[in-house]
Structure 1
């Protein structure tokens, strides 16, 4: 009977240590890389603390000087998506436009965030931006067939 008690005490102690370490890494560890900032922001968003997630990503843009264009793009898209989820389309578009400046001249593959960007432009009544992006994305079907998903927006944009 005593060995079972020891087992449970040991199990609970190890569980508390593991949980404490995870909480520390997710919410208190010093943020150093763009992945740290992005990961922390996603965790706050999952806890319905979107404003905190937004402030962390803005801090990343300000503090991280030596990040690649791809990393800057990822942060900007995530910021746009956070505003988009809250239906703040004009704010989302600010970050989406900055992200698009980074990648539109590059070859890139389809991403679900592109749907959010098109919707955000439409909802914010930025039809010209929506048309321009739509035309750019449709041409990309030649190397990624998933861009054909964008075709459904033609009726919304060109009406």
Structure 2
């Protein structure tokens, strides 16, 4: 895995939600040069707060404090994604395509489509690994966050520890 990703990095709701559940949205703001949330993702996170998911409040607060919310251009013919992705992933991928950036998503369909479109892709675990490599967090903290995501949020992780990915 490279030490960084083409900027800006468009974050989907699952990635934002994972980091919010460990009170670490600010970590994303400091880790990435240009993290962006699209309006559909912001709306999804705000709806989550309205439905009682209080842990998402830190993400909503971050929208006004370093985590940019940016519109993306309307869909264009060659990127007809409406049938393949949810609104947040669709807008985030469209933003990454239009701005030659990266999409951060854990959604398998979005990851596959990003790969088809030659758009760099990462996810929650990739961002943890990048954080460890850049010494923003240690591997123990990364593993603690991963455990919270799994145990409290039902997140599926293909690894038990970020250490498994550090030598790649």
Asked if TM exceeds 0.5, the reply is: no
Higher radius of gyration, 1 or 2:
1
Q: Which has the higher contact order (CA 8 A, sep 6+)?
A: 2
More strand by share: 2
TM-score with structure 2 setting the length: 0.27
Higher helix share: 1
